[in-house]
Chains A and B, each alone.
Chain A
Amino acid sequence: MIEVKNIRKSFGDNEILKDISITFKRGEINLVIGASGSGKSVLTKCIVGLHEVDSGTIFYDGREFTSMNFKDRKDIRSEIGMLFQGGALFDSLTVEENVRFPLEMYTKQSKEEMLDRVNFCLKRVNLENVNHLYPAEISGGMQKRVGIARAIALNPKYLFCDEPNSGLDPKTGIVIDNLIYDLTKEFDITTICVTHDMNSVMETGENIVFLHQGQKWWEGDKKSILKTDDDVLCDFVYSSRIMKKFKNL
């Protein structure tokens, strides 16, 4: 469980996050949704400490993260897996080396054990026979999946995914959503997923937080999101004409 309490973050005069408090539950998919530029990526980066918050506190299962030094954070970070919006694979390393990287950094496993783990993770994301290709040589969707494989290599307790299915066709997108869902259930992970894709909201959304202009505007699950009367949220959920028609049915 990750608790975020009253965090604020500005860049210069531009206040991006205005007093946000959220509880992300363990073993569930916690979705953060919102329009482009609403601060979703900044929020996740603040939670993992890539941006320092201006004020507020963050607890990882009761451990206060914001005031920790680099060394103590390292212990928590070894429990975090993160999938970045752009994949962020190391482009000088092959797929196999990318997934092996966290293992080499943190474990004392033998070469064979590492290879087993790498192949297990790659298989889990339906990638086989790409071990020796470089990130530039595989498709965007495959890069995302390698990103997930790398994020789960160390059996994380907390998994952050920034738009895991952006730039993918709807079907592959759903495959990835389901993959994240299964992993979350299987390993009882606290998963935080950023998205602006209504498909994935309906597919896997358990706890949903809607960010609007840097504030937590709405919170609920996928059933209640369809019945909402909130204008701003309606605008987001029923943004396309066809969806509006559905709503009026």
Chain B
Amino acid sequence: MISALHNIGSYFLLLARVFKKPDNYKLYWRQTVHEMVSLGLGSLGLIAIISLFMGAVVTLQTVSAINSPLIPLYTVGYATRQSFILELAPTVMCLILAGKIGSNISSEIGSMRITEQIDALEIMGINSASYLILPKIIAALFTIPIIIIYSMFLGIVGGWIVGAYSSMLSVSEYVYGIRWDFQLFHVVYALIKTLFFAFVITSVPSYYGYYTRGGALEIGKSSTKSVVYSSITILIINYILTQLLLI
């Protein structure tokens, strides 16, 4: 418990250092663009595959669950859309990104720590916390919401493919379903969640990477810890935000 409080405290102290005024805007900007490319483009393929398949599976499951003639088939499209927009795209995809991007960030920063590259930055008078972490956070806040919208879209496309190729559901019913009772606010809610998650996905692994001590083994441990704790944080924030925004 004490160590948990200690970790939370030093996490916020680190963040205070991260959000100091940058030393050199040009270098920071270059770093941010670089991170946007590696965070964004690097994840598109994985997110596409997962979203298409999950969309298809959710659709199939809903179709097979509806066996009463009283429930119209367009509910299937509605259910797929709602589950993707509200939960699967923002929360589940961010959990997956927490694994992919998070372990990446923490091992990158961790190995810079143990090979003294962070010391080298400090010696040059650079605020290493800010230089290494701020560009990642900014890049994530811009790119991850775009990835999530892309995931919503592909998830719904995944369901549409089921409609097109299965005899249980027709495309027109599915399309009617995905357009039925559409509320823009649900997308806004998902994007608000995503912004919080994006912050967690980058800052928590950065924290564990930055305070890595020891050798190669510890890099692995930090990256495991960072995935575990960022996932838990995402789930807790998800609950709180849903309570605040939807209820």
Do B125 and A78 touch (CB < 8 A)? Answer: yes
A79-118 vs B, Cβ < 8 Å mask (1 yes, 0 no): 0101011111111000000000110111000000000000
B126 at the interface (CB under 8 A from A): yes
Chain A residues with CB under 8 Å of B23's CB are 105
With A77-B124, A105-B124 known as contacts, the answer to whether A84 contacts B24 (CB < 8 A) is no
Kindly report which residue of chain B lies nearest to residue A70, judged by CB atoms.
B127
Q: Give the A interface residue count (CB, 8 A).
A: 24
Chain A residues with CB under 8 Å of B27's CB are 104-105
Q: Among the interface residues B26, B112, B116, which one has the most CB atoms of the partner chain A within 10 A?
A: B116
Do A84 and B119 touch (CB < 8 A)? Answer: yes
Do A105 and B123 touch (CB < 8 A)? Answer: no
Give the shortest distance, in Å, between A132 (CB) and chain B (any CB).
17
Give the shortest distance, in Å, between B166 (CB) and chain A (any CB).
47
A73 at the interface (CB under 8 A from B): yes
Total A-B pairs, Cβ < 8 A: 51
Give the shortest distance, in Å, between A165 (CB) and chain B (any CB).
17
B112-152 vs A, Cβ < 8 Å mask (1 yes, 0 no): 10011101101111110000000000000000000000000
A249 at the interface (CB under 8 A from B): no
B26 CB contact (under 8 Å) in A86, A88, A104, A106: A104
Chain A residues with CB under 8 Å of B122's CB are 50, 77
Do A91 and B117 touch (CB < 8 A)? Answer: yes
Kindly report which residue of chain A lies nearest to residue B24, judged by CB atoms.
A105
Chain A residues with CB under 8 Å of B119's CB are 45, 50, 84, 88
Which B residues from 12 to 36 make CB contacts under 8 A with A? 23-24, 26-27
Kindly report which residue of chain A lies nearest to residue B20, judged by CB atoms.
A70
Which A residues from 33 to 87 make CB contacts under 8 A with B? 45, 48, 50, 70, 73-75, 77-78, 80, 82, 84-87
Chain B residues with CB under 8 Å of A105's CB are 23-24, 27, 124-126
Chain B residues with CB under 8 Å of A86's CB are 115-116
B120 CB contact (under 8 Å) in A73, A75, A88, A106: A88
Chain B residues with CB under 8 Å of A82's CB are 120, 123
Chain A residues with CB under 8 Å of B111's CB are 91
Q: Among the interface residues B24, B117, B120, which one has the most CB atoms of the partner chain A within 10 A?
A: B120
Chain B residues with CB under 8 Å of A50's CB are 119, 122-123
Kindly report which residue of chain B lies nearest to residue A160, judged by CB atoms.
B123
- Provide the bound-state CA to CA distance between A89 and B115, in Å: 9
With A104-B27, A105-B23 known as contacts, the answer to whether A88 contacts B115 (CB < 8 A) is yes
Chain B residues with CB under 8 Å of A104's CB are 24, 26-27
Give the shortest distance, in Å, between B10 (CB) and chain A (any CB).
16
B116 CB contact (under 8 Å) in A75, A78, A84: A84
Do B120 and A84 touch (CB < 8 A)? Answer: yes
- Provide the bound-state CA to CA distance between A73 and B117, in Å: 19
- Provide the bound-state CA to CA distance between A88 and B24, in Å: 21
- Provide the bound-state CA to CA distance between A90 and B119, in Å: 11
- Provide the bound-state CA to CA distance between A85 and B123, in Å: 14
22 CB contacts below 8 A, A to B, read A48-B123, A50-B119, A50-B122, A70-B127, A73-B125, A74-B125, A75-B125, A77-B124, A77-B125, A78-B125, A80-B123, A82-B120, A82-B123, A88-B117, A91-B115, A101-B124, A102-B124, A104-B26, A105-B23, A105-B27, A105-B124, A105-B126
* B interface list, Cβ under 8 A from A: 23-24, 26-27, 111-112, 115-117, 119-120, 122-127
8 nearest A-B residue pairs (beta carbon)? A77-B125, A74-B125, A88-B116, A88-B120, A84-B116, A82-B123, A88-B117, A50-B119
